[in-house]
């Protein structure tokens, strides 16, 4: 690949010799001209490395460049990354944890149900479904027909076999065009190595009048302003793109989707970003959930008065509701 034309030099931080990086042009406009934006680290699990993000000089999209090579990114999605979703024993905090996890799926349900009436006839595709708890919730509550895609192979969870599961890259899947009433992407697009292709694929597989609902972290949010390179939404190197409101909407529009509604929040709890950002900034990287879980719930209780206004404060997330253009 040709060298990128990043005009400002990256900070000189060394990475492990076995990491491979590749230069990428802007996902949105193809320009190779960019300015240094920030350096992120793997704060969640504490793995080694420094990952640079740039801002496109042409269209303002912020993206990881150079990015870690596609064949190496899988090692950053190891068991530590999703194990917490499978872990069932949190001691005396188990009921609180279980309630928080099922609340997340119920909050996703409440959000999508404002736009799609889910019944036993509704065909739902969750892109980046992980262990599939959201889909299983929809099946249990409504009898919905559930399909999921994830590039992770060794997923397992009680009930997972009820999902019509497709393993691999979303845009490479053989899926019937115009076959889904609802396509959801909960924190998938910012991980994707080709977001425009995924958006085009979503536009292709959703029925006319069906909805594509996409939630990602919001760069132009309050928590980013506070935490900057320690903002949990950086989540390097898994996050390839850091979307602000404008870039999310315009990328969807350029790839076959019409944005019919915009929400300055999502189903993912903004509080997690407040907690994790504070943790990364003060204690450093590597979030030890075993130790953090009690302070997590305590903090949530203390911040409850603030979090009651979560939907109005532009704290950390954003969601677009889309239909296919034609």
Does position 65 interact with Zn ion (CB under 5 A)? The reply is: no
Q: How far apart are the first and last CA of the chain?
A: 36
CB of residue 170 vs Zn ion: minimum separation in angstroms? 22
Rule CB under 5 A: say whether 194 interacts with Zn ion: no
What count of other Cβ atoms lies within 10 Å of the Cβ of residue 93? 14
| Interacting residue with Zn ion among 4, 28, 316, 318 (CB under 5 A) | 28
Is 26 or 315 the residue whose CB approaches Zn ion more closely? 26
What is the C-alpha to C-alpha distance for residues 317 and 311, in angstroms, rounded to an integer? 9
Residue 157, classed as helix, strand or coil, is coil
The residue among 80, 103, 82, 40 whose CA lies nearest residue 300 is 103
Work out how close the CB of 56 gets to Zn ion at its nearest, in angstroms, rounded to a whole number. Answer: 3
Residues 86-145 that bind Zn ion (CB under 5 A): none
Stretch that binds Zn ion, among 27-35, 39-47, 192-200, 300-308 (CB under 5 A): 27-35
Based on the shown chain and the rule CB under 5 A, indicate whether residue 197 belongs to the binding site for Zn ion.
Answer: no
Contact window for Zn ion (CB under 5 A) among 45-53, 54-62, 124-132, 154-162: 54-62
Is position 59 an interface residue for Zn ion (rule: CB under 5 A)?
yes
- Short-list 243, 217, 245, 222, CA closest to 232: 217
Neighbours of 303 (CB within 10 A): 15
Size of residue set near Zn ion by CB under 5 A? 8
- Piece in contact with Zn ion (CB under 5 A), picked from 30-38, 141-149, 191-199, 311-319: 30-38
Closest separation between CB of residue 57 and Zn ion, Å? 8
User: What residues form DSSP beta bridges with 53?
Assistant: 38, 64
Nearer to Zn ion, 155 or 189 (CB): 189
For residue 254, state whether it binds Zn ion (rule: CB under 5 A): no
Q: Residue written as tokens 């999921």?
A: 148
Does residue 250 bind Zn ion (CB under 5 A)? Answer: no
56 lies in the binding site for Zn ion (CB under 5 A)? yes
Closest approach, Cβ 55 to Zn ion, in A, equals: 9
Using alpha carbons, list the distances in angstroms from residue 26 to 31, 68, 214: 5, 15, 20
Map the footprint of Zn ion across residues 200-239, applying CB under 5 A: none
Examine residue 29 and tell whether it contacts Zn ion (CB under 5 A). yes
Nearer to Zn ion, 5 or 306 (CB): 5
Asked if 57 is part of the footprint of Zn ion (rule: CB under 5 A), the reply reads no
Show contacts of 7-12: CB within 8 Å, 24+ apart.
7/33, 7/34, 7/35, 7/57, 8/35, 8/36, 9/36, 10/36, 10/39, 10/52, 11/39, 11/50
| The total number of residues written for the chain in this structure | 326
- Say whether residue 58 binds Zn ion (CB under 5 A): yes
Considering the complex, state which of residue 31 and residue 72 has its C-beta at the smaller distance from Zn ion: 31
Residue 195's nearest CA partner among 213, 169, 177 is: 169
Per rule CB under 5 A, is residue 251 in the interface with Zn ion?
Answer: no
Query: Which residues are at the interface with Zn ion (CB under 5 A)?
Result: 26, 28-29, 31, 56, 58-59, 61
């Amino acid at each position: 690949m040709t060298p990128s034309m990043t005009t400002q030099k990256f900070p000189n931080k060394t990475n492990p010799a076995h990491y491979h990086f590749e230069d990428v042009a802007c996902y949105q406009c193809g320009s190779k001209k960019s300015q240094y934006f920030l350096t992120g680290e793997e704060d969640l699990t504490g793995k080694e490395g420094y990952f640079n993000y740039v801002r496109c000089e042409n269209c303002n999209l912020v993206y990881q460049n150079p990015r870690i090579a596609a064949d190496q990114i899988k090692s950053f999605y190891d068991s530590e990354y999703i194990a917490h979703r499978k872990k069932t024993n949190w001691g005396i905090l188990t009921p609180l944890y279980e309630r928080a996890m099922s609340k997340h799926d119920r909050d996703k349900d409440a959000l999508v149900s404002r736009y799609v009436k889910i019944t036993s006839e509704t065909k739902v595709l969750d892109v980046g479904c992980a262990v599939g708890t959201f889909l299983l919730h929809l099946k249990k509550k409504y009898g919905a027909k559930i399909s999921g895609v994830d590039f992770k192979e060794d997923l397992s969870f009680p009930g997972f076999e009820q999902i019509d599961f497709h393993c691999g890259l979303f845009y490479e899947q053989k899926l019937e065009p115009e076959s889904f009433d609802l396509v959801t992407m909960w924190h998938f697009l910012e991980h994707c190595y080709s977001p425009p292709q995924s958006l085009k694929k979503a536009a292709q597989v959703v029925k006319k009048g069906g909805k594509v609902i996409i939630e990602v972290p919001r760069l132009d949010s309050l928590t980013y302003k506070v935490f900057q390179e320690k903002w949990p939404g950086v989540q390097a190197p898994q996050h390839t793109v850091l979307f602000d409101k404008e870039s999310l909407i315009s990328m969807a529009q350029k790839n076959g989707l019409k944005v019919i509604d915009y929400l300055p929040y999502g189903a993912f709890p903004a509080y997690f970003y407040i907690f994790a950002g504070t943790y990364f900034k003060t204690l450093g990287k590597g979030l030890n959930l075993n130790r953090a879980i009690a302070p997590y719930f305590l903090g949530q209780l203390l911040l409850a008065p603030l979090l009651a206004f979560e939907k109005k404060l532009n704290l950390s997330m954003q969601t677009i509701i889309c239909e296919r253009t034609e």
